[in-house]
Amino acid sequence: MKMLLGGQWVEREKKIEVRDPFDDSLIDTVPRADAADADAAVAAAVKGFDVSRKMSVHDRARILFKTAGIVESRLEEFALTIAREGSKTIREARKEARRCVNTLTASAEESKRIQGETIPFGSFPGGEKRRGYYERVPVGVVLAVTPFNDPLNLAAHKLGPAVAAGNSVILKPATVTPLSGIKLVEAFMEAGLPELVMQVLTGHGGEIGDALVADPRPRMISFTGGVEAGRRITQIAGLKKIGMELGSNSPVIVWKDADLEWAAETCVSGAFWAAGQNCIGVQRLYVHRDVYEPFKKRFVEITKGYKIGDKLKEETDMGPMISEGEAKRLEGWVREAVKAGARVLTGGRRTGALLEPTVLENVPRNAKIHAEEVFGPTVNLYPVDDADRALAEANSIDYGLHAALFTRDVDLAFKLAYGLECGGVMINDSTDYRLDSMPFGGVKNSGLGREGIKFALQEMTEPKVICWYLPKS
């Protein structure tokens, strides 16, 4: 596939191979962009902003609706691309493709709701003869950097609001999963988006990342990825807006009055969706001691029933991690925890990039698999005796994206919901529930700002005051 640069689909002599992590088969190649390409992309985007800022709201909405329709008409094609280049099973990939349609549709709808307010200038002496208002205007060039785990919908979460707000945008998809993002940009072009409004640049972050991030011409960076990369961006970005979703280590509290069957089912799904490579996936389960054993038994039973293997088979529940290297990394974390006293209840074995769904208990608090974001198919169980201890344990990690709790006690639910340090609390549901239109983001090391279409539009626009002095009023 080619990359879109300056209104043209271009190739480069140097290529990056895109391989299926399940069997290492070659899917396609993409251009390996360099720093010169990064400079050209930004220059084109600057020209594109002169076009996008003048587009009417109804034109932006029309293009977004049409793009959503194109994706919807080719759902299976998009789903197959997602499944092949990444870790998702075909069933998981179909859900992501459907979510992309919803994200683009919501972007089209919200483009018509970017509103300002009148300002009461007469509220302070000297302002009696002034009238005015503020409106929200696009920030300019948006640099959108997306991860491998949701290669289509997370691209839509950045491209959709950027276009809806009247910005131009440069998409830098994950090096290992660029094909879904490229296909989405193709859909935008087919829908009639002016050529220079959108660029897509494929390449290694180490070769083009710094050039894109440090360039003063982009006015906002929308980044989803790891904490270390996020820190690097803040160090070199300069004076521009930054929105970041940096992952998590999501805790779940299961109380003694919970519906244990539902809690087990939804938390197994939440732990192992997309082979656990999910920023809001369940990682730590704090279960009241009175129900710890029956919950553990059922959780392990469901986990053992998971079918792992070929992502394209309808019966497969979980596919491989994104690479054998990542699977080896997490396998090492499991071994480290076991050496320190943890017990593997099921799983733990690896074949290539396939790591079995793994459940552990007695995990030491200083083990990486407890304290860091695992981003893989492992989950830890811990018994707890009281709500205050459960809350303290849940908040003890320096991440805060999503948390969840299962209880029928409304008073306890309110206490824990307001005490949990995170961007979202799911009550009687898994941490991995997300509606694409809700504000999405975290606290602590989990990021800056919020996505979710309406809220991303706030980040990708800024208020501009218009004040009239009317001497004869």
Tens place of pLDDT per residue across the chain (473 aa):
999 999 999 999 999 999 999 999 999 999 999 999 999 999 999 999 999 999 999 999 999 999 999 999 999 999 999 999 999 999 999 999 999 999 999 999 999 999 999 999 999 999 999 999 999 999 999 999 999 999 999 999 999 999 999 999 999 999 999 999 999 999 999 999 999 999 999 999 999 999 999 999 999 999 999 999 999 999 999 999 999 999 899 999 999 999 999 999 999 999 999 999 999 999 999 999 999 999 999 999 999 999 999 999 999 999 999 999 999 999 999 999 999 999 999 999 999 999 999 999 999 999 999 999 999 999 999 999 999 999 999 999 999 999 999 999 999 999 999 999 999 999 999 999 999 999 999 999 999 999 999 999 999 999 999 999 999 87
Which top CATH class is 250-427?
Answer: alpha beta
What tokens appear for 148 in the block? 């491998």
Name which of 299, 286, 289 is nearest 260 in CA terms.
299
Domain 3-246+446-467 coded CATH 3.40.605.10: yes
- Per-residue confidence (pLDDT) for residue 472, from 0 to 100: 85
Rounded distance, CA 283 to CA 423, Å? Answer: 16
Spans of all domains in the chain:
3-246+446-467, 250-427
Short-list 431, 318, 378, CA closest to 92: 318
Three-state secondary structure string covering 335-351: HHHHHCCCEEEECCCEE
pTM reported for the whole predicted model: 0.96
Q: What is the pLDDT of residue 87?
A: 97
Q: Write the single-letter amino acid at 196.
A: L
Q: How many CB atoms are located within 10 Å of the residue 251 CB?
A: 29
The letter for the amino acid at 273 is: W
User: What confidence score (pLDDT) does residue 473 get?
Assistant: 74
What is the set of active-site residues? 245, 279
Buried b / exposed e across 58-69, counting CB within 10 Å, b at 16+? ebbbbbbbbbbe
| Pair 142, 169: CB distance under 8 Å | yes
